[in-house]
Amino acid sequence: MTPERLKRINAMLDQRQPDLTICMEGLHKSHNLAAVVRTCDAIGVSDVHAVWKSDAAEVRGGSAAGSQNWIDVHNYQKTADAIAALKAQGMQILVTNLSATAVNFTEIDYTKPTAIILGQEKFGASDVALELADQHIVIPMVGMVQSLNVSVACSVVLYEAQRQRQLAGMYNKPRLSHERRQRTLFEGGHPIFADACQRKGLPYPEIDEDGQIVANEVWWQKMQMNKSAWQHIDD
């Protein structure tokens, strides 16, 4: 890994917001996920949650999700499971929906751990999401259209979250765990070795402050061998 690439990856990781996330419901178009993931990366969001419309849709969308090297995409088949996972992380759950209890999206305190649920473009958020959410939010519109494209809505809300968090100094101090940073540095800085580790079932090594791999001789030997030939090393 070159010093320039290490510096760029570290600068990105220093501003990641692990307690701000998006959850997309009823996904069946991989390009919608790709567009949202792109925005999340730009904002500093580290994780996206995707509730797929069907098993087949999840398989089709896998390539789009996998091409995003800097965001972790967590897949679900049920909205309730996704929300349960987010609440277990202490997130406030917001859902975009025009209802009697909905508030303008700018009135929310996004410095709190926050998950924003985006419903399917055609049908909106599910009844489950509407019931389990802590708050409904709306993006004011004065034209003839009733809703925005899902990736546009995502951008509008996330940039408000970013504005509030920047004012609160939440982008000024690294917030990712050491383990998460190490994993991203290895996968982003040494992608060939990362792919080999995944294929061979090898643990990821540590990355030092210069971006170089720190591993013992056994790890390097296994990296150069087929898994079937490891036995004499382990014995």
User: Domain map of the chain by residue range?
Assistant: 17-167, 178-234
Residue 21 among known ligand-binding residues: no
Q: pLDDT digit of tens for each residue in the chain (235 aa)?
A: 888 999 999 999 999 999 999 999 877 667 778 888 999 999 999 999 999 875 544 444 454 444 467 899 999 989 999 999 999 999 999 998 888 888 999 999 999 999 999 977 666 778 898 889 999 998 888 787 777 788 888 999 999 999 999 999 999 999 999 999 999 999 999 999 999 999 899 999 999 999 999 999 999 999 988 777 776 676 5
Please, what CATH class does the domain formed by 17-167 belong to? alpha beta
CB atoms within 10 A of CB 66: 9
Residue 2 among known ligand-binding residues: no
Residue 83 among known ligand-binding residues: no
With residues binned 3-state (H G I as helix, E B as strand, rest as coil), the percentages for the chain, rounded to 5, are: 50, 20, 35
Identity of the residue numbered 130: L
Distances from the Cα of 61 to the Cαs of 37, 137, 184, 220, in angstroms? Answer: 12, 27, 22, 34
pTM of the model: 0.86
